[in-house]
Amino acid sequence: MKVNGKHYRTIWMDNETGEVSMIDQNALPFSFEIFIAQNYSDTCHAIVTMITRGAGAIGAAAGFAMAQAFVEGERGERRGANSGNYTRDQLSFFDNARKEIEATRPTARNLFYATEKVYNAGIKSVENAVREAQWLADQNIADAKQIGENGSQLIKNGSRILTHCNAGWLGFVDYGSALAPLYIAKEQGKEFFVYADETRPRNQGARLTAWELQNEGIPHKIIPDNAGAYLMSKGMIDFVIVGADRIAANGDTANKIGTFEKAIVAKEFGIAFYVAVPFSTIDFSLSDGTQIPIEERSEDEVLTYSGPDSEGIMRTIRMASPGSHALNPAFDVTPARFITGFITEKGIIHPNEISNFYTE
Non-local CB neighbours of 39 within 8 Å, separated by 6+ positions: 18, 68, 72
Name the DSSP letter for residue 17.
T
3-state helix, strand, coil in the chain (%, to 5): 40, 20, 40
Vertex 109, ends 105 and 114: CA angle to 5°?
A: 95
Neighbours of 239 (CB within 10 A): 16
Catalytic residue among 24, 197, 245, 332: 245
- Tell me the H-state helices in 157-270: 180-187, 204, 210-216, 228-233, 259-268
> Is 245 designated active site?
yes
Non-local CB neighbours of 194 within 8 Å, separated by 6+ positions: 160, 161, 162, 163, 182, 213, 218, 219, 220, 221
> What does the alpha-carbon distance between residue 313 and residue 56 come to, in Å, rounded to a whole number?
30
Q: Is the peptide bond before 29 cis (omega within 30 degrees of 0)?
A: yes
R_g of the chain computed on alpha carbons: 20
Got the DSSP string for 138-158?
HHHHHHHHHHHHHHGGG--TT
Catalytic residue positions, numbered: 245
